[in-house]
Chain A
């Protein structure tokens, strides 16, 4: 097995033996259970005239609630990815664990890519697994399925990967959990930057709107999150949003359009840049 894959395997092994993963799985199952029960309620509530809600209204409410639930999932995923990636390299440099590994014919780039791959696989599995469970639960409870479930998984997974990449880059230089904390703060700032951009859209102020654009360019997590929202919006709801004009666009929990293709291309470049920077940073680090 090439060294990159050996390191990736080792990363998967180590991370999956952590309590964090077990806790995450248990929590996810609990949330899925509760949300199935909660969503079921929507179909049984009665309106003022005593009848249950019409299917279109159930779908609308469900889609909105699902966005909020998914926001929580993406937050948990981003948080975990950052917290695990933050010390991924620095802790092994400090403990001396990497000394004996790097004295083998192993390139530093192979260590970085291997760790990225290993953790990336876990992020992807979690994103796909939790989305599948949640969507299945919602489908069972209400019969509603978001219009683009695959894209939803891709966007949420990519958001986790983005935080993982940032955390890993910081971990080539910063000690312990510091990198993870900084990555988390950056993620929150990115979200706020997006909201500020929305405000700019609402006020039709180009300068303020640009804040959102720049923050999406620097850290595309919020952009990816909006992609996830778009994937969860039924057509009827989109039509309402579009009809509302600028007001419809100035909402951090709604997306009128999918992320533009050039932006998505930039995200791919961004991932490449983060990895290249991490490799360069680790190569020039003395251990």
Chain B
């Protein structure tokens, strides 16, 4: 069997400098009978913060592992920074925080980062500065000398983030980077991502947290069941209006009759029409009143990613 994971092939892209950060063509992955990723084709430009959004089991982690050569694709092709995936040298320019993050418990935080500097590899003279600045960025300076085994889960995730930042990578993969963090930590991560973006680093952010993606990403792809069901810039994706209605006195059958107004996120007394033109609001209210509902509040707002996400997932199921 040939070594698929470490192959070194010529890039069909030509000059690497002008090539996108990530490009995939029909990238697919099956695990036995489960199709974890079914034909992913996308391009992530350099220097952008790209949100890869989807519910649990959508295929986000699988995608990142395929791109990093940790898994072997069933079919399809992909390039990172203009080089085919699996190319060893490209990995010098990439940072990665795994979803399942774990670091050598018997080493101190500083030693773990030194290990990553050594493997990256970065010139030894730069280690000290790199490590100091990475520790400072993730807020672990005080604990730099402590053994990682004494760290909380959140601190370990910060350490993983620090490791991903070493050596000013051109592309950083963050797989659910805030899964173990408190609200302050989540805020810090957004700041870190913005910092990366400002110095031109492309960020591939895997997340199921809409607010996180919404706040930092330039561009989003929504995945479900291994397929991209929508993608585009934030503005393109969120062009619609959502209308929240607080209403009582409607049973399920009556609610179902409102389906002509588009997708409904039904939370009992609160119905959100995830994509409804504002000029149809009077018509909607008349219909609800006609059905015998008591309307307490009607508030149109700019569609949030959550509205759009729910709308997309619902459309997907039909």
Asked if chains A and B come from one complex, the reply is: yes
Residues of A within 8 A of B (CB): 1, 3, 6, 10, 13-14, 17, 95-97, 99-108, 280, 283-284, 286-287
| Minimum Cβ distance to chain B for residue A211 (Å) | 33
Residues of B within 8 A of A (CB): 1, 3, 5-6, 65, 68-72, 88-89, 91-92, 94, 96-98, 100-104, 106-107, 115-116, 118-121, 160, 163, 173
| Minimum Cβ distance to chain A for residue B315 (Å) | 32
Tell me if A's interface is mostly helix, strand, loop or mixed.
Answer: helix
Total residue contacts A-B, CB cutoff 8 A: 75
In the assembled complex, the Cα of A10 lies from the Cα of B3 at a distance in Å of: 26
Task: Give the residues in chain A near B91, CB-CB below 8 Å.
Answer: 103-105
Are B119 and A106 touching (Cβ within 8 A)? yes
Nearest residue in B to A5 (C-beta to C-beta)? Answer: B118
Partner of B116, one of A97, A100, A102: A100
Partner of A104, one of B97, B106, B119: B119
- Residue from B92, B97, B121, B160 whose CB has the most chain A CB atoms within 10 Å: B121
List 21 interface pairs A-B (beta carbons < 8 Å), by A numbering.
A1-B118, A6-B119, A14-B104, A17-B106, A95-B100, A96-B98, A99-B70, A100-B96, A100-B98, A100-B101, A102-B69, A102-B70, A103-B98, A103-B173, A104-B91, A104-B120, A105-B119, A283-B3, A283-B5, A286-B70, A286-B72
- Residue from B97, B115, B173 whose CB has the most chain A CB atoms within 10 Å: B115
Are B89 and A103 touching (Cβ within 8 A)? no
Are B96 and A103 touching (Cβ within 8 A)? yes
| Minimum Cβ distance to chain B for residue A264 (Å) | 31
Task: Give the residues in chain A near B97, CB-CB below 8 Å.
Answer: 100
Are B104 and A97 touching (Cβ within 8 A)? yes
Nearest residue in B to A279 (C-beta to C-beta)? Answer: B3
In the assembled complex, the Cα of A10 lies from the Cα of B103 at a distance in Å of: 12
In the assembled complex, the Cα of A6 lies from the Cα of B5 at a distance in Å of: 21
Nearest residue in B to A106 (C-beta to C-beta)? Answer: B119
Given contacts A108-B5, A108-B6, A286-B71, contact A99 B96 (CB under 8 A): yes
Task: Give the residues in chain A near B163, CB-CB below 8 Å.
Answer: 100
Task: Give the residues in chain A near B102, CB-CB below 8 Å.
Answer: 95-97, 99
Partner of A99, one of B1, B72, B100, B106: B100
In the assembled complex, the Cα of A65 lies from the Cα of B50 at a distance in Å of: 71
Nearest residue in A to B97 (C-beta to C-beta)? Answer: A100
Are A283 and B6 touching (Cβ within 8 A)? yes
In the assembled complex, the Cα of A95 lies from the Cα of B163 at a distance in Å of: 17
Task: Give the residues in chain B near A1, CB-CB below 8 Å.
Answer: 118
Given contacts A100-B96, A283-B3, contact A10 B101 (CB under 8 A): no
In the assembled complex, the Cα of A95 lies from the Cα of B65 at a distance in Å of: 15
Are B92 and A96 touching (Cβ within 8 A)? no
Given contacts A99-B70, A104-B91, contact A6 B120 (CB under 8 A): no
Partner of B68, one of A103, A108, A283: A103
Are B88 and A287 touching (Cβ within 8 A)? no
| Minimum Cβ distance to chain B for residue A14 (Å) | 6
Given contacts A105-B120, A106-B119, A286-B71, contact A100 B6 (CB under 8 A): no
